[in-house]
């Protein structure tokens, strides 16, 4: 029995949620998001909440039950509060800046890296060594942050590179004479 799946997803005031077969659409202040629920799961609106149930007792249906409920909850949270990931840049001369619709990164390469900002995501640089990725879609915000981090991940000797805020980098000692 899924502990996550049993809970209905409450739809707060100011948010419009519709269930059309296997497609769940949620519209709020931060935008509109959709999720196609797997066929192993039944979704229905029930007194201001979205209820998710498995179609049968198969292992896949039970696995998709909690996953689908979590994905629908992410839609509701995304259109009300939104999601945000913070990245920190460490290293001499490493910096980030917004140039038009691109994020310009100086990461120690012979050239600057230009990352085009996708639709639905906003990227800001409060400081040259800090990047804030924000948006309504949790998956897209996480993917954009991971793509930016992948240009120069943190290395274990000096910790130089792009890392998530609060991420622990395991440090190595280096050579001894």
Domain range for 106 is 83-164
Longest dimension (CA), the chain: 71
> What pLDDT shows up at residue 3?
81
Please check the confidence at residue 157 and state whether its pLDDT lies above 70.
Answer: yes
Closest CA to 131 of 162, 166, 93: 162
User: Cβ(87)–Cβ(129) under 8 Å?
Assistant: no
CA dihedral 51, 52, 54, 55 (to 10 degrees): 70
Sheet holding 83-90, edge to edge: 121-124, 130-135, 83-90, 161-164
User: Within this chain, do residues 29 and 47 fall inside the same structural domain, yes or no?
Assistant: yes
Q: Which of 36, 64, 80 is the endpoint of a domain?
A: 80
User: Within this chain, do residues 14 and 72 fall inside the same structural domain, yes or no?
Assistant: yes
User: Within this chain, do residues 115 and 153 fall inside the same structural domain, yes or no?
Assistant: yes
Q: Which of the 8 DSSP states describes residue 150?
A: H
Confidence of residue 1 (pLDDT cuts 50, 70, 90): low
Q: Which of 80, 104, 124 is the endpoint of a domain?
A: 80
- C-alpha distances (whole Å) from 19 to each of 44, 68, 77, 97 are 6, 13, 17, 41
Tens of pLDDT, residue by residue over 37-82, are 999 999 999 888 999 999 998 999 999 999 999 999 999 999 999 9
Please check the confidence at residue 5 and state whether its pLDDT lies above 70.
Answer: yes
> What pLDDT shows up at residue 174?
86
Length of the chain: 177
State the average pLDDT for the chain.
92
Domains identified in the chain, total number: 2
Confidence of residue 2 (pLDDT cuts 50, 70, 90): low
> What pLDDT shows up at residue 172?
92
- C-alpha distances (whole Å) from 140 to each of 28, 100, 120 are 17, 20, 8
At 154, which CATH number? 3.90.930.12
Contacts of 21 (CB under 8 A, 6+ apart): none
């Amino acid at each position: 029995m899924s502990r996550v799946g049993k809970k209905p997803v409450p739809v707060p005031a100011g948010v419009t949620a519709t269930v059309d077969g296997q497609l769940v659409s949620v519209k709020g202040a931060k935008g509109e998001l959709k999720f196609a629920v797997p066929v192993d799961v039944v979704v229905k609106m029930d007194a201001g909440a979205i209820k998710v149930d498995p179609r049968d007792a198969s292992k896949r249906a039970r696995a998709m039950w909690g996953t689908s409920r979590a994905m629908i909850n992410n839609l509701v949270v995304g259109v009300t509060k939104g999601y945000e990931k913070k990245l920190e840049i460490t290293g001499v001369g490493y910096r980030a800046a917004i140039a038009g619709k691109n994020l310009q990164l100086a990461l120690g390469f012979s050239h600057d890296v230009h990352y085009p900002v996708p639709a639905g995501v906003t990227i800001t640089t409060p400081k040259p060594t800090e990047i804030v990725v924000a948006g309504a879609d949790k998956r897209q915000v996480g993917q954009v942050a991971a793509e930016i981090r992948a240009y120069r991940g943190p290395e274990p000797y000096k910790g130089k590179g792009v890392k998530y805020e609060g991420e622990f980098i395991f440090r190595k000692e280096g050579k001894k004479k």
